[in-house]
Chains A and B, each alone.
Chain A
Amino acid sequence: MSAAVRPDEPQVEVTLCPGGPMLLRGATHVIDDDGRRVPVERPVVALCRCDKSGRKPWCDGTHKLLPLEI
């Protein structure tokens, strides 16, 4: 039991998707480029890493339209 996370202990997991966004699991807020505190409203969110999303800080799939090497 020692390795188990206590249920009341906040835990955030970050997953980097190859060629894609960063997944955040368990986050409550994201501070964006302009310092705005944006609430997280779904269990997992995808953060833009290509800087071209039309809905930053969230990914909107735009990375798929970019050339492979930039």
Chain B
Amino acid sequence: MLLPRARGAISAEVFARLLQAPPGVGTVPMPPGWPDHFEDPLEDEDLQVTLWALYELHYKGFEDVEDEWEWDAGMLAVRRELERSFEAALRTLAEPHVRAVVGGKGDLADRLFDLTEAFEGPELSAYLQRTATREQTEEFLALRSIYHLKESDPQSWAIPRLQPAIKSRLVELQFDEYGGGRPERVHQALYATTLERAGLDPAYGAYIDDVPAIVLATNNAMSLFGLHRRLNGAAMGHLGAFEATSSLPCVRYAAGLRRLGFGDDAAFYFDEHVEADAVHEQLALRGICAALALDDPSQEADIVFGAVICLALDVRFAEQLLGAWDSDANLLGPEHDGVPVPA
């Protein structure tokens, strides 16, 4: 589709601008203290928490922030600048893996399944199954709460942007994520029950001040992919890799929770994901990712990019968490908490 014809002075000017290259960097002043460049955007707590909060304006927002900020042009410009640095770092991280998969032989779904199986990382799920203490398991549950309490929402942004055959597969998958018509089975609600049964705070965002940059980056990557139509392929690749690395770890997480006596209600979220994600990985990788690449081969590189980012950030998270536990430290804690914002 091309731009419609202008119907007056305003549409004429706006459409004329849309036909130019976007102005890009430097058109809106950035906050004081803005660096020339971010050394390590993925580990930059300041960048990640800012980006997380700006994305949150598009989900539930904040009680103490006016809704109008969601579409404030200046604030969107700040978000865009942070995203540029963040996306560049993600591209650098993913590049070698993306190159190894894109344009390879065989069906893209098979290549993505192979990628998820070959991706090397520490065995966090095995540790939680057999070794983790109750406190460590609670820490893991709290760290994961930032995503699981908004589980599947970042992928829902992609729905209107897909062509009908692929859209129907994504909605079929999301319908299951959102409980299949049963509010009590919405995966977000199941996770809230898990938190509650583990004696943790099930409130949305309860642990946000205590999570490290890697947890924020993991969530921000999903919002980045979901909110940009340009990155639709990455959003679906991320979804595919996420689903394809879920069933087997969820068997172990559930076993770990039962070993520590958390009970069946607490483990149910993970039980549910064993069966659900054995279906979803097929839907996401075959019905969505491979179909999307077949429909538009230019999407393949971004699909693989999204999949690699899911796997690579998951490995970083596991390394940091197991690394902390190995030296009797924690990843969740008040050291990530910043300073109160003056009213």
Contact = CB atoms under 8 A, between A and B. Distances in A.
**Residue with the highest number of chain B CB atoms closer than 10 Å, among A15, A42, A45:** A42
A29 to B, nearest CB: 16
B279 A46 contact: yes
B248 A61 contact: yes
Main secondary structure of the interface of B (DSSP, over half): helix
Contacts of A15: 282
Contacts of A65: 248
B187 to A, nearest CB: 12
B19 to A, nearest CB: 42
Interface in B20-36: none
B184 interface: no
Contacts of A17: 282, 286
A60 B279 contact: no
Interface in A10-67: 15, 17-21, 23, 41-46, 54-55, 58-62, 64-65
A62 B248 contact: yes
Which of the listed residues A54, A61, A62, A65 has the most CB atoms from chain B within 10 Å of its own CB?
A61
Interface residues of A, number: 22
User: DSSP majority for the A interface?
Assistant: loop
A43 to B, nearest CB: 6
B159 interface: no
Nearest to B169: A44
Nearest to A44: B279
Given A17-B286, A54-B251, A43 B275 contact: no
Contact of A18 (B110, B276, B277): B110
B179 to A, nearest CB: 10
Interface in B247-299: 247-248, 251, 274-279, 281-283, 286
Contacts of A44: 172, 176, 279, 283
Contact of A42 (B107, B110, B113, B180): B180
Given A60-B274, A61-B274, A46 B282 contact: yes
Contacts of A59: 247, 275, 278-279
Interface of A: 15, 17-21, 23, 41-46, 54-55, 58-62, 64-65
26 contacts: A17-B286, A19-B113, A21-B282, A23-B282, A23-B283, A42-B275, A43-B175, A43-B180, A44-B172, A44-B176, A45-B275, A46-B275, A54-B251, A55-B274, A59-B279, A60-B248, A60-B251, A60-B275, A61-B251, A61-B274, A61-B277, A61-B278, A61-B281, A64-B117, A64-B248, A65-B248
Interface of B: 107, 110, 113, 117, 172, 175-176, 180, 247-248, 251, 274-279, 281-283, 286
Given A23-B279, A60-B248, 16 more contacts: A15-B282, A18-B110, A19-B113, A23-B283, A42-B176, A42-B276, A42-B279, A43-B176, A46-B275, A46-B278, A58-B278, A59-B278, A60-B274, A60-B275, A61-B281, A65-B248
